[in-house]
Structure 1
């Protein structure tokens, strides 16, 4: 279904007639890479559970991935083009979830929602896209590296090895665990970005200030920014890896182009792309840095999320154990999930390295890439073990990663690329010359089937039916009822709580909401004075209603106080204050009937960040356009 749509989208509308259409289709199919098509075809078995009825809500973040999206969608429909507020959290008081949750993955899923998919289906479709894009990215990256590594004057067929690398990246255990065990939407989407970011920076540094450098710089900046806007985790983990790769690539460039000025230009381009990426993400990063500290931080780094409880034992990297539980045993013996690297990738990398060493091939680009990937992979594995405890303790910001084994996402990328390069070494030096391309193709197909066979047993998860309550505010409410220890508060909350005036509303048998809009949640209460609440409403980023009071009164709005709330009484901005002890909002009204509207609006950090991001984006697009006109 996906590939025909992609092909159809490439055709001009004037060709949508009989013979012309058939001819255009034949020409388009003729230009498509058959190995890439085969890669996508062989990726489909990994997506099979997504096509089944039901969903794995009981996976680690299975519910979160859906109810984050439904709250994101509710805010969008309520006019918040960049949502910050999740209205159903904290028993209905709401929480600035999207101040700390990067938004890009939700925007992608939102496309499917707007096309008519339910929230659960939209999440599943987003994962399908991520898997196909990640396979494609690894395929293109490995092909690019191998073509750069080829001796001058030769045109080796790099597609068989790239096919193997792409499949390894799809079926490597942690990639499958990220979706079927963890069901972590944004974590999984990150793996789709990794190869594209590396490819963009590799080409930027390799080609330096050659023609079209503004376009290459823009692509590198946009790719890295897309990654950072997909998950906050990338800022602390993937960004250092990109910086390390840039230094490695600059060192390679310095050997081939030893002139100092040339190296400085390449360095400036790489640094410029990195800086532009950070500026592009300012709309997210500035509010995160300015407003994030007002949120209770300890809940995100203690107890369940304390990194000291989640180190991996060396043996677990090679254990075939697989489970749907949690990493809840600090000693590792009784962990409920697996942390294996992937036996096929490890064996392939080892055999390929051995063949390369025995071949006598002179030191070159391929060997340099292999050495870099192998070294980084070992360091990543070390960082996930308790042997690195001192480093984790020394760098407090690492605690935000929460689970050291999350670095398996990075090692899945490096090991897959490493194995792909090693496969090419096997095809180049391990296959007799007289066998020719046919043997390489056969070897690639054999390895492809082996990769699928080794990983297919990990494809799938226990499914639960998609019931109506799973896709509205009751999903958040019930999760917090079951896990009250995971309720997070703001700095204005003086007395923790686990229920609210809306607890009964959510528990009602006739609870209903329409894309986040609900007229039954108890949003208003008169706390001083006499009167009544005539009506009330609740939407994705706003709430309010009408009150009728006999005289001056104070009305409490059942929303968590946070920067950005704008309170209006009868259409006029009104002074609001914190309502203790639960850190809510309250406002004074005179006697009579009054309409109260509360909406999440901009703040100085959000406005400043948006200006910086838009200015940077326009500058990059302007440079791209200028380069195209030259």
Structure 2
């Protein structure tokens, strides 16, 4: 019976996940796929950069309406690397690739939950609980449809592997479980930073609940190792944050969505969205408590204890109970939205459901079936409601080519957080605010390219220059200029916030392009040293402890 239940719910996971590639990437509307435009443009920019030979195009010249931006300086690239590989493997266009990859991440989450739970319960119970977790509203409705948050869906797919790695590190007799844990931590940091920041606060608590002080300490060690592996991204992103228009830490966004604090002071749309997320959070807590009650006859186990601790600690982060932590810890505020913890709540729900199913409680299978069927009905119901009763002036779905074109010209296709501060001070944020300046929609005219200028990957080449000139790209410290002899020229921000190259003598074969900053060099050095250290730890073998020989006593036949 449990196996049939698991197969049924897994089939529902596949069917609901398949809605995305079947229907395509939805158009932004009222509480509908409002992150889709950015995901489309980011994948388009990543794919174009890889086609140019820039496998990590930190500076994207095409974004911000052709004036360039720091998209992949501050936004993790791994999710878009994977999507770009899917595009090359399938030959699909950008929009279809994004839809298919979104589905793949959701199936990875299902498989990861099964592998994690299989360590503790029989396969049938693990499959049913994993499928239930993948059908819950936050991972199946809020993220892939209401928000279309591609990177967060990709990060959520790594959560079960992270818990599995924490358990293995806590159970090992030496530290050889730490490299695998560091690898998962590093991958999460390179995929979705808010999820990583959230988990960094909750993972040691789970490690302590599962394996005591040793589990907590090894989880911290794995987190430090993961930060070292991801230093090639984290170090430049943190060091250059002062040069970006980033409002996540002190903009007060978290206050408006902290439960019981200030969320109901927002706009009507914002309130509606918060109510959806709050409802899913409360539902997850109630479901977990229900399964805990159903599994009450089971003996105490590390997983049951750790699941309950993770349940209440992650839910507490969504409420005003943890307000002092949000005020004191800037790294916690970088999560921006406390309700992101709803995604973590799916893990203890899955764990307690698996334990209840394995315990054979009478009402467990009907409860899992009812919750699974109800959750599976929510995504198609939501899409039907939005398409049937939504604003008739915006299209719901478009062909892939039109969908990408719409994203590229939309202000929501680029993030104002990826605007350099020099452009912000020059007034270029009017492009996102939709306001007119004294000089029009753009505060300054774009300078034309000098005669003979050729576009190269990540920059320009000029045959000659005799005087100081500007380029139609926003200034950022990564811009560098060298002449044909290899001599560096000064690059500075102009009064219009654009790149200005200082030419005090005639030069030929001038190359103006994005180069590696000192922070990138430092980040790669830390990543390399961390990887070497973790490899040594992974292959390290503890010397066996010598034990004294035990004399064998052989009784003599016939002795009395």
Which bracket does the TM-score occupy, shorter chain normalised? 0.7 to 0.9
Aligned to 2:411: 479
Report whether the alignment pairs 1:57 with 2:32. Answer: no
The structure-2 alpha-carbon separation of the partners of 1:418 and 1:571, relative to structure 1 and needing over 3 Å to count, comes to farther
Question: Is 1:234 aligned to 2:191, yes or no?
Answer: no
CA distance in 2, matches of 1:392, 1:623: 35
* Matched position secondary structure for 2:208: helix
Q: Match of 2:314? A: 380
Are 2:534 and 1:620 equivalent residues in the alignment? yes
The DSSP-based 3-state class of the residue aligned with 2:407 is helix
**Equivalent residue, structure 1, for 2:451:** 533
Candidates 53, 60, 64, aligned match of 1:86: 60
Match of 1:578 among 474, 487, 492: 492
Distance, in Å, in 1 between the alignment partners of 2:277 and 2:218 is 41
Classify the secondary structure of the residue corresponding to 1:79: coil
- Counterpart of 2:428 in structure 1 is 497
Provide the residue aligned with 2:397 in structure 1: 464
Tell me, yes or no, if structure 1 residue 44 matches structure 2 residue 14.
Answer: yes
The match for 1:123 is: 98
Give the length in aligned residue pairs. 509
569 and 417 in structure 1: CA distance in 2 versus 1, 3 angstrom threshold: same
**Aligned equivalents of 2:424, 2:340: Cα separation in 1:** 31
Q: Give 1:271 deviation, angstroms.
A: 4.5
Between the aligned partners of 1:348 and 1:405, the Cα distance in structure 2 is 17
Q: Deviations over 1:240-281 (max 9, x none)?
A: 211111222332xx8xxxxxxxx5xx7765454333212111
CA shift in 2, pair 1:371/1:250, >3 Å? closer
In the other structure, the counterpart of 2:550 is: none
Q: CA–CA distance in 2 between the matches of 1:238 and 1:202?
A: 15
Aligned residue in 2 for 1:75: 49
Matches within 5 A, 1:292-311: 292-298=241-247, 301-302=250-251, 306-311=253-258
1:370 lines up with 2:304 in the alignment: yes
The 8 Å contact of residues 91 and 498 in structure 1, kept in 2 or not, is answered as no
SS in 2 for 1:224: helix
CA RMSD of aligned residues (A): 3.7
TM-score (norm 2): 0.79
1:110 Cα deviation (Å)? Answer: 1.1
Q: Distance in 2 between matches of 1:338 and 1:344?
A: 10
Partner residue, 1:10:
none
Aligned with 1:69: secondary structure? helix
2:167 equivalent among 202, 210, 216: 202
| 1:52-84 C-alpha deviation (Å, 9 max, x unpaired) | 243213112011111111112222233333331
Aligned-partner Cα distance in 1 for 2:420–2:376? 41
Q: CA deviation at 1:182?
A: 0.7
1:305-354 CA-to-partner distances (Å, cap 9, x unmatched) read 7222223359x9xxxxxxxxx97459947857443337886565344333
Residue of structure 2 aligned with 1:219, choices 174, 180, 189: 180
Paired residues of 1:299 and 1:488 also in contact (CA < 8 A): no
Residues 177-211 of structure 1: CA deviation (Å, up to 9, x unaligned): 111111111111111111111111201211323xx
Q: Which one of 141, 162, 176 corresponds to residue 116 of structure 2?
A: 141
Q: Distance in 1 between matches of 2:509 and 2:124?
A: 67
8 Å CA contact 1:221, 1:274 repeated in 2: yes
Which residue of structure 2 aligns with residue 155 of structure 1? Answer: none
Residue 244 in structure 1 maps to residue 244 in structure 2: no
Give, in whole Å, the separation in 1 of the partners of 2:237 and 2:356: 41
Q: Tell me the residue number matched to 2:516.
A: 602
1:554-593 → structure 2 map (5 Å cutoff): 554-570=468-484, 572-589=486-503
5+ residue gaps, structure 1: 1-32, 147-157, 255-262, 317-325, 432-442, 504-521, 527-531
Note if 1:339 corresponds to 2:255: no
Note the alpha carbon deviations across 1:465-522, whole angstroms, 9 max, x for none. Answer: 13536436x7344326x9997773325753212579xx9xxxxxxxxxxxxxxxxxx9
d(CA) in 1 for partners of 2:452, 2:184: 51
How far, CA to CA, are the matches of 2:21 and 2:423 in structure 1?
45
2:156 aligns with 191
TM-score (norm 1): 0.71
Name the counterpart of 1:394: 328
Taking the aligned partners of 2:266 and 2:129, their CA distance within structure 1 comes to 28
